[in-house]
Amino acid sequence: MRPKHRNGGLPPGAGLFRGRLLGWYGRHRRTLPWRGVRDPYAVLVSEVMLQQTQVARVLDYYPRFLRAYPTLEELASAAPDAVREAWRGLGYYARARNLHATAQLVVGSLDGRLPRRPEELRKLPGIGRYTAGAVASLAFGADVPAVDTNAARVLTRVFGWRRARRARQAHRLWAVAGALVPRGRSADWNQALMDLGATICTAHRPRCPACPVRTCCATGTRALRRRPS
């Protein structure tokens, strides 16, 4: 089958988009307690908490949980009721159960070390494609994508993709996201996409005039052309 795009599988304008977004991220990245953290366990805790919970709520729970269970080993040896108690108020308790089960599995069978590769991380309880990519890139510096809802929205709008069947859309998103990851800067890149989606390219009111990638975004260019001068 012929490749859809030249330029290493990237759509036209991808290089410019990447440069602009990274430049913006360098100046405007959000300050969050889990940013810059490289301890794989702490990264996993933050990512599991963020799976179905707003950042504002996780800000309280993340340090509290890590104070109660500062290491994978301490979490692994905790009683289930105590873990549930530490998670109380965050909801979706299956996440706490899976995190606990992961800690026990890693301590019991993997020498206490979380795997570095997304394929291996995905074999652990409650770790899906996004969380595996996030842990691999943020904790281990692997050049892999991590596409959450925010990143997916940004990519879809920038490249002007029309709605496609779910499986096709997911395939396209992950393939292009993977090709876009700059070598050695996967953590910055994945977080830059998420930050843009969380602060400017929001679901309901994207702020295209203030967006750093507006001139290389298919959706933003159309929207700005329609604005009255």
- The residues annotated with a catalytic role in the active site are 47
The C-alpha angle with vertex 220 and arms to 218 and 221, in degrees rounded to 5, equals 65
Q: What is the Cα–Cα distance from 145 to 135, expressed in whole angstroms?
A: 10
* CA-to-CA separations, 68 to 26, 28, 65, 87, 216, in angstroms, rounded: 33, 32, 5, 10, 46
Least spacing, CB of residue 104 vs ligand SF4, in Å: 41
* Cβ 207 to ligand SF4 shortest distance, Å: 6
Q: Counting contacts by CB under 6 A, is residue 201 touching ligand SF4? A: yes
3 state DSSP class of 32: coil
The DSSP letter of residue 216 is G
Measured between alpha carbons, how far is 209 from 228 in angstroms, rounded to an integer? 12
Specify the residue, 118 or 206, whose C-beta has the smaller distance to ligand SF4.
206
Q: How far is the CB of 212 from ligand SF4 (least distance, A)?
A: 8
Site residue total, ligand SF4 (CB under 6 A): 14
Q: Is residue 217 within the footprint of ligand SF4 (CB under 6 A)? A: yes
Q: Is 206 in the site for ligand SF4 (CB under 6 A)?
A: yes
**How far apart are CB 198 and ligand SF4 at their closest, in Å?**
11
Contact flag: residue 208 with ligand SF4 (CB under 6 A):
yes
Here's the x/- map for ligand SF4, 152-181, by CB under 6 A: it reads as: --x--xx-----------------------
Q: Report d(CA 181, CA 185) in Å as an integer.
A: 7
Q: What is the DSSP code (8-state) at residue 210?
A: G
Q: What's the sign of the alpha-carbon dihedral 117, 121, 122, 123?
A: positive
The residue from 11, 13, 118, 220 that contacts ligand SF4 (CB under 6 A) is 220
Interface ranges with ligand SF4 (CB under 6 A):
154, 157-158, 200-201, 206-208, 211, 213-214, 217, 219-220
